[in-house]
Homo-oligomer: A and B are copies of this chain.
Amino acid sequence: MTDMTQDDFIAAVSFNADGLVPAIAQDAEDGRVLMLAWMNAESLKRTLAEGRAVYWSRSRQALWRKGDESGHIQRLAEIWLDCDGDTVLMKVHQTGPACHTGTPTCFFRTTRHAL
């Protein structure tokens, strides 16, 4: 485990050509993966500064402080960066359902597969 300063953490992020990085939100209590959304540098800085998930909405092209409208905020418990710096993982305390459909997690569709 490598504990970095916030500045070093942000500098280590490899944003894509659109200036975005995928951010996974995982429930800090039960370990469920809740959703994946995107962050630009500004939303990552705000996430760290405010201690809650702030994404970049690609459809609205605007900062998206998760829960500002729905009340379903994500309070940050832990934040992690992967080996090559191109994915962020947050463990969050989720208020209400994570998904805009009203389900606890956005991942509610499945299929069977070869074993």
Nearest-neighbour CB distance to chain B for A27, whole angstroms, equals: 9
Nearest-neighbour CB distance to chain B for A11, whole angstroms, equals: 11
Closest residue on chain B to residue A9 by CB atoms: B111
Interface SS, A side: mixed
Classify chain A: how many residues form its interface, as a range.
Answer: 35 or more
In the bound complex, CA of A114 to CA of B77 (Å) = 10
- Check A36 against B87 for contact (C-beta < 8 Å): yes
Known: A51-B113, A51-B114, A79-B110. 11 other contacts (CB 8 A): A4-B110, A4-B111, A6-B111, A22-B22, A24-B33, A35-B87, A36-B86, A36-B87, A48-B114, A83-B99, A83-B108
